[in-house]
Structure 1
Amino acid sequence: MSTPTHTKEWILTNKPTDFPQLSGPEPTFTLKTNPLPPLEDGKVLVKTLYLSNDPAQRGWITKGVDPARLYVPPVPQGGVMRARAVAEVIESKNPKFKKGDKVLANAGWAEYALNDPQNLQLQPVQQLEGVSVTHFLGAFGMTGLTAYYGTKIIARAGPGDTVVVSGAAGATGSMVVQIAKKMLGCKRVIGMAGSDEKCRWVESLGADVCLNYKKPDFKKQLVEATEGYVEVYFDNVGGEILDLMLSRMKKEGRVAACGAVSNYNTSQPTGLRNWFEVITNRLEIKGFIILDFVASGKVGEAMAEMVKACKEGKITVDESMETVVETKFEDVPKTWMMLFEGGNTGKLVTKLV
């Protein structure tokens, strides 16, 4: 193919306070076609093949957020929506990358993107025969590392522990279930998901039981499942479920605070009523960001452990662990919104067609 001179891009036009708006007078994103600058020495031009969809992206575009309170700079209004991608090198003026290479790239919601070499990573696909490259956006990417870091290091889960995981059918939660049960040998793993079908899938991954939080008797079921209370809670959702779980923790229990998706799309987030439980039961609640783990230099060790567990059949990394949605570039935001509609099992990946 000839070198492209223009690229389609989704631009952040209006920062939302509640649910992003994909249409109407003030849409959150606007599709534009912009010229590509000439390829400079040392840089690489890539074509986006697959986009990572992550709840954290919602926090990067919220209106009125103080940039000093975020762990990464927010997406600027008028800028390309940020996203990690699997991409193909189209043209290179860097000796480390050649045309046709598959790479991880900070491509954003763009058809084509220029990247500095420090923002690209060649994929070690040859290490895991039969594993799709898309899993390097999920189970063997930041998602899997988040699950590993939060479960093993932040929550210090071990063989004597019962672990509860919210959002257990999601990209991170499904890896937490497997890491806790099959890698760390935790005594009992309890998942939460939004349908009976998802719950059965979570149980197939190793959870001892998974509870449908949309059922009217969910609270009763959770109390019964956590009889005797639990040592570890891996929180992906925040809000009412976090509040409930504070009352189900043992003394000196540990909460790994990973996400708060229940409050991402509202300007009136749910507060906590059971905070006194933190004091009376000496609970430890620790928020964490995967970038801290990356900076520690221990990611290679963690990845080696997960790869070994995969090869030994201890953890499942296959097509069931991701929802890959074939998407026209014009529909990229619609696929991303599936994150907040319960439309995916495992990692949600956009495949551009």
Structure 2
Amino acid sequence: MSSLPTKSRQWVLANHPEGLPTYGQSDSAFNLKTVDLPSLQDGQILVQTLYLSNDPAQRGWISPPSQIDPKRLYVPPVKLGDPMRARGLAKVLASKANDYAEGDIIQGTVNWVEYAVVDVKDPMVGVRKIQDLPGGLSITHYLGALGSTGLTAYYGFVEVVGAKKGERVVVSGAAGATGSMVIQIAKHIVGASYVVGIAGSDEKCRWVESLGADKCLNYKSKDFEQELKEACGEGVDVYFDNVGGQILDYMLANMSRYGRIAACGAITGYNGEAALPMKNYFNVINYLDRAVETVGKLIGALKEGKIKIGEENETVVDTKFEDVPKTWLRLFEGSNQGKLVTKYV
């Protein structure tokens, strides 16, 4: 790059959305603005955003304070006027920080911006230089299967809910970023005896079964409730819930005695449209304290052939900067298979 950028466009939170967020209008949740970049100081790097992670949890970060107590979120909410928060991958354009050089690719909280000056030691940014992945896999998997969603899948299933070998498992949102990893971890790493996935189309169900599910059910089927009851048999030991709503209600009637439920997400209700809305869902706190160790386990499982990671595990969308919110909103349409990733073009 012949000259370094001095300005950056960014999508900022303009209003707390009550329902489905909108963008680009005066009363929208997100507005586009251009800002001056600060000069580079010691310990900082100038980066250009390449890819963005799209996650349902982002919806909770922008909800009105009257709906969610900010103290109950595992990260602070996005403040009005601040760029929309998002994890991503970025290229270092200039550096005044030790161990970082021009051309390095970093992972961190880069937000919905084109360029940014970041402090490499800021814990809220969480900058980490990434390495090439085995088998020529795309680095975008650091945002999905080998990123926060893969960590959530492993930690939530193995550490939090304590899944054990030989147990019967059901996973909702099984064709999504987290659910597709839970399916593989359950069957091929933990050794569950019977794994049922739930997804939104017959095509997605066949893919979920190719990952290791013994059965996958299309929740759009007119006979879904009965099909689910039959699939659960005498009861399920572990239910990994990514969707909440009616499916969670069905599963409560199909758990075995002393069965456990991992409350990972409730995407059907994040914009207020759930059949069984819960006002306090975001009071369920998640946490990770062994992220590096867990990623190492997942890469090890990948090398051993226990889990599959490839193009099918992600939906990468070429996106103009003006359409960044539009791509994120695809999360709530259920159109993606695996991780939904924004690629700047």
Q: 1:203 to 1:41 in 2, by over 3 A?
A: same
Residue pair 2:173, 2:243 contacting (<8 A) in 1 also: yes
Q: 1:57 to 1:204 in 2, by over 3 A?
A: same
Paired residues in the alignment total 334
Distance in 2 between residues matched to 1:269 and 1:222, nearest whole Å:
18
Counterpart AA for 1:72: V
- 1:327 is aligned to 319
Q: 1:243 to 1:338 in 2, by over 3 A?
A: same
- 1:236 is aligned to 242
- Taking only the aligned residue pairs, the percentage that are identical comes to 54
- 2:270 is aligned to 264
The answer on 1:94 being equivalent to 2:104 is no
Q: What's the offset of the Cα at 1:26? A: 1.4
The answer on 1:124 being equivalent to 2:131 is yes
Secondary structure at 1:88's aligned position in 2?
strand
The answer on 1:177 being equivalent to 2:183 is yes
- 2:111 is aligned to 108
Residue pair 2:150, 2:178 contacting (<8 A) in 1 also: yes
Distance in 2 between residues matched to 1:51 and 1:161, nearest whole Å:
36
In the TM superposition, what whole-angstrom CA distance separates every residue of 1:299-345 from its partner, at most 9, and x where no partner exists? 33322221111011110111110000000011000000000001100
Which sits farther off after the overlay, 57-66 or 188-197?
57-66
Residue pair 2:46, 2:115 contacting (<8 A) in 1 also: yes
Q: 1:325 to 1:29 in 2, by over 3 A?
A: same
Secondary structure at 2:154's aligned position in 1?
helix
Distance in 2 between residues matched to 1:14 and 1:89, nearest whole Å:
31
Distance in 2 between residues matched to 1:269 and 1:308, nearest whole Å:
41
The residue correspondences of 1:235-254 to structure 2 (distance < 5 A) are 235-254=241-260
Residue pair 2:24, 2:32 contacting (<8 A) in 1 also: no
Distance in 1 between residues matched to 2:26 and 2:304, nearest whole Å:
53
The residue correspondences of 1:286-325 to structure 2 (distance < 5 A) are 287-289=284-286, 292-294=287-289, 298-325=290-317
Secondary structure at 1:160's aligned position in 2?
coil
Residue pair 1:7, 1:112 contacting (<8 A) in 2 also: yes
Distance in 2 between residues matched to 1:135 and 1:193, nearest whole Å:
21
In the TM superposition, what whole-angstrom CA distance separates every residue of 1:74-121 from its partner, at most 9, and x where no partner exists? 001111000001000001001210000000021100000111112310
Match of 1:69 among 49, 67, 72: 72
Runs of 4+ in 1 over 3 A off after TM superposition: none
Residue pair 2:269, 2:277 contacting (<8 A) in 1 also: no
In the TM superposition, what whole-angstrom CA distance separates every residue of 1:118-162 from its partner, at most 9, and x where no partner exists? 231011325x23121100001111110100011111121122201
Counterpart AA for 1:85: G
Residue pair 1:150, 1:288 contacting (<8 A) in 2 also: no
Distance in 2 between residues matched to 1:134 and 1:217, nearest whole Å:
37
In the TM superposition, what whole-angstrom CA distance separates every residue of 1:11-33 from its partner, at most 9, and x where no partner exists? 11111011112354511111111
- 1:46 is aligned to 47
In the TM superposition, what whole-angstrom CA distance separates every residue of 1:216-248 from its partner, at most 9, and x where no partner exists? 110010001011111000001111111110110
Distance in 2 between residues matched to 1:269 and 1:59, nearest whole Å:
18
- 2:203 is aligned to 197
Secondary structure at 2:136's aligned position in 1?
coil
Q: 1:15 to 1:204 in 2, by over 3 A?
A: same
Unaligned runs of 5+ in 2: none
Distance in 2 between residues matched to 1:152 and 1:35, nearest whole Å:
45
Counterpart AA for 1:235: D
In the TM superposition, what whole-angstrom CA distance separates every residue of 1:32-90 from its partner, at most 9, and x where no partner exists? 11110111111011000000000000000012332112111100111100000100000
Counterpart AA for 1:141: G
Secondary structure at 1:250's aligned position in 2?
strand
Give the alignment's TM-score, normalised by structure 2: 0.94
In the TM superposition, what whole-angstrom CA distance separates every residue of 1:181-219 from its partner, at most 9, and x where no partner exists? 011110011000111111111111111111111111100
Unaligned runs of 5+ in 1: 273-285
Residue pair 1:258, 1:288 contacting (<8 A) in 2 also: no
- 1:158 is aligned to 164
